[in-house]
């Protein structure tokens, strides 16, 4: 499957009830619990869930590397891109965390960035579980 086909699939998912339909900061879906492994894979389909998981696996290390090197521009861009993916898949808590990272990077605020990055690995891990792509 080519990149343009993958992008079309993601855009289609976003237009069918993703977080673009409202504020991604709303409360998590009550059906989304620790016991509902792969909830988002069932909701969006395994192919789209896998694409989202791939984005998480690729961009999270880039965010960590940019933070470690003090590259605020890359950090801001990567956090913004991943926030969009998270929001489109209803991963509201992760999207909020990425917004905090993006905002701290925009302000070039190392202290705020440290706090925002602290919870990111756990949120990414939980998102992967919800997508049926991680360990519960």
Q: Name the superfamily (CATH) of residues 37-130.
A: HPT domain (1.20.120.160)
The proportion of the chain whose per-residue pLDDT surpasses 70, expressed as a percent, equals 68
Q: Which two tokens stand for residue 9?
A: 């699939």
Q: What is the pLDDT of residues 68-103, one digit of tens each?
A: 999 999 999 999 999 999 988 888 999 999 999 999
Distance CA 132, CA 39 (A): 7
Q: pLDDT (tens digit, 9 = 90+) per residue, 30-69?
A: 444 433 445 666 777 888 888 999 999 999 999 999 999 9
d(CA 130, CA 85): 14
* Domain range annotation of the chain: 37-130
């Amino acid at each position: 499957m080519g990149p343009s086909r993958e992008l079309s699939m993601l855009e289609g998912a976003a237009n069918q009830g993703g977080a673009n339909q409202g504020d991604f900061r709303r409360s998590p879906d009550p059906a989304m619990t620790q016991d509902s492994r792969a909830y988002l894979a069932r909701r969006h389909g395994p192919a789209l869930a896998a694409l989202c998981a791939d984005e998480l696996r690729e961009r999270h290390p880039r965010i960590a590397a940019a933070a470690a090197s003090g590259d605020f521009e890359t950090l801001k861009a990567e956090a913004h891109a991943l926030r969009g993916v998270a929001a489109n898949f209803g991963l509201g808590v992760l999207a909020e965390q990425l917004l905090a990272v993006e905002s701290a990077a925009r302000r070039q605020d190392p202290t705020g960035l440290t706090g925002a990055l602290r919870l990111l690995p756990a949120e990414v891990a939980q998102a992967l579980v919800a997508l049926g792509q991680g360990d519960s």
